[in-house]
């Protein structure tokens, strides 16, 4: 199982223009790509390859009723951008993400939709990760 | 040391030492001296029942405390003198239940204090509690916020733990102090409420968190997750992106 580690959390922010995000629910995690090695008998590692890191953005929105959003999975959703309230703070943009929406209920926020976006680990021809950027 | 810091240190010293304030009541030959002792939990609870019926207007109290205490001294001289009598009661269980002495002091105050004097003394006792001020200055309010955030994560991860109790002063304030070794007598009658509150708020506490739980908390609370609303997190986030192989 690849390790998933939370990197950033926001108090108040908007995501793709949505301003009704549950306070402190927006978090960016990284799924660290696993390293694969090819060994030769009796020798040290011959080749190493690291899978790209994938970034995962999650946040919650309070809903008036469960029909407001369509739960489910979209493989090719597109880009998603977090804009913190304070312009000087850390903003992030994920490109070419998949989207997953789940609707649930909790005693604090009532009916909530949990949005999850995940990058695919796209690299350019120099081997640089291109689907996550600081804004 | 600047003046503000010196004053705060002095206030803290007074709270720790339980320093009483001396007052003089009455004219020349009839003059007597009394002490305002720190308010204990027992006194606090009893005084609450005396103060509540006075219907103090907190808006006026904040803007002009003397004006408001003058009004209540005029309308409720008897109760105000009763309040002063309790404030001048030494901090022992015996003195607290010595109704005769308390009544004698109340009568003396009623006979020897004018409404203006009572109003002045009430301002002194109503503004004497510096606990909140000290907690802010010492950063204990922020420590409390940090601990609440940590407990939130702990509750989320320890879903199978169910807590009971802690619904009243008995389970929270008194219960915790008893665990620290204080007797009922000391908590209720001997030590000032302000001193005990500070003692509880500043008690050294540590909570074990797993790596996973630590990662749920922002760095400002002691965790490992960066705070996106803090511009200072930018550099650390850039380092993370660089580690992932992003051109930054």
B247 and A CB contact within 8 Å: yes
Mean pLDDT lowest among A41-55, B11-25, B41-55:
A41-55
This prediction has a pTM of 0.75
Q: Mean pLDDT for chain B?
A: 93
Give the residue-averaged pLDDT of B171-199: 95
**Which tokens hold the place of B60?**
């006026």
* Confidence category of residue A129, pLDDT binned at 50, 70, 90: very high
CB within 8 A of A124, min separation 6: which ones? A130
CB within 8 A of A24, min separation 6: which ones? A9, A10, A11
Yes or no, beta carbons of B224 and A132 under 8 Å apart: no
Yes or no, beta carbons of A53 and B245 under 8 Å apart: yes
Q: How far is CA A8 from the centre of its chain?
A: 10
Give the residue-averaged pLDDT of B39-64: 95
**Cα maximum dimension of chain A:** 64
Yes or no, beta carbons of A52 and B245 under 8 Å apart: yes
A27 and B CB contact within 8 Å: yes
ipTM for the assembly: 0.85
Q: Which residues of B touch A11 (CB under 8 A)?
A: 227-229
Q: Which residues of B touch A27 (CB under 8 A)?
A: 225
Yes or no, beta carbons of B226 and A133 under 8 Å apart: no
B238 and A CB contact within 8 Å: yes
Question: Which pLDDT tens digit goes with each residue over A39-82?
Answer: 767 666 667 788 999 999 999 999 988 888 999 999 999 999 99
CA distance B87 to A37: 77
Distances (CA, A) of A15 to A81, A104, A117, B130: 6, 20, 11, 43
- Domain boundaries along the sequence of chain B: 3-129, 139-226
- Whether residue A37 is predicted with pLDDT greater than 80 in this model: the reply is no
CB distance A96 to A78 below 8 Å: yes
Residue of B nearest to A86 (CA): B229
């Amino acid at each position: 199982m690849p390790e998933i580690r939370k990197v950033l959390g926001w108090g108040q922010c908007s995501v793709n223009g949505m301003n009704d995000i549950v306070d402190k629910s927006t978090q960016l995690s990284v799924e660290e790509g696993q390293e694969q090695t090819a060994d030769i008998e009796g020798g040290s590692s011959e080749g190493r390859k690291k899978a790209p890191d994938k970034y995962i953005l999650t946040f919650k929105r309070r809903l008036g009723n469960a029909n407001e959003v369509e739960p489910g999975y979209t493989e090719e959703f597109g880009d998603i951008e977090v804009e913190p309230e304070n312009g000087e703070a850390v903003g992030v943009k994920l490109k070419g993400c998949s989207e997953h929406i789940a609707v649930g209920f909790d005693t604090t926020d009532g009916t909530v939709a949990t949005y999850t976006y995940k990058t695919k680990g796209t690299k350019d021809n120099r081997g640089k990760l291109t689907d996550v950027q600081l804004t | 040391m600047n003046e503000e810091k010196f004053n705060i240190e002095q206030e803290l010293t007074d709270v720790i030492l339980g320093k009483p304030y001396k007052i003089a009541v009455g004219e020349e030959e009839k003059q007597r001296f009394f002490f305002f002792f720190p308010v204990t939990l027992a006194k606090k609870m009893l005084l609450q029942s005396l103060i509540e019926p006075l219907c103090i207007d907190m808006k006026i109290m904040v803007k002009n405390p003397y004006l408001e205490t003058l009004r209540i001294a005029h309308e409720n001289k008897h109760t105000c003198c009763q309040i002063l009598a309790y404030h001048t009661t030494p901090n022992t269980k015996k003195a607290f239940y010595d109704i005769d002495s308390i009544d004698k002091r109340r009568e003396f105050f009623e006979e020897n204090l004018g409404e203006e004097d009572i109003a002045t003394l009430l301002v002194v006792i109503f503004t004497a509690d510096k606990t909140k001020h000290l907690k802010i200055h010492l950063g204990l309010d922020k420590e409390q916020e940090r601990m609440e955030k940590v407990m939130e994560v702990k509750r989320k991860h320890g879903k199978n733990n169910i807590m009971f109790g802690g619904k009243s002063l008995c389970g929270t304030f008194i219960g915790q102090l008893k665990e620290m070794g204080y007797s009922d007598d000391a908590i209720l009658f001997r030590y000032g409420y302000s001193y005990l509150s500070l003692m509880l708020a500043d008690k050294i506490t540590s909570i074990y968190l797993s790596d996973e739980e630590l990662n749920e908390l922002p760095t400002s609370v002691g965790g490992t997750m960066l705070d996106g609303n803090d511009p200072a997190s930018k550099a650390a986030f850039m380092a993370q992106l660089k580690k992932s192989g992003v051109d930054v």
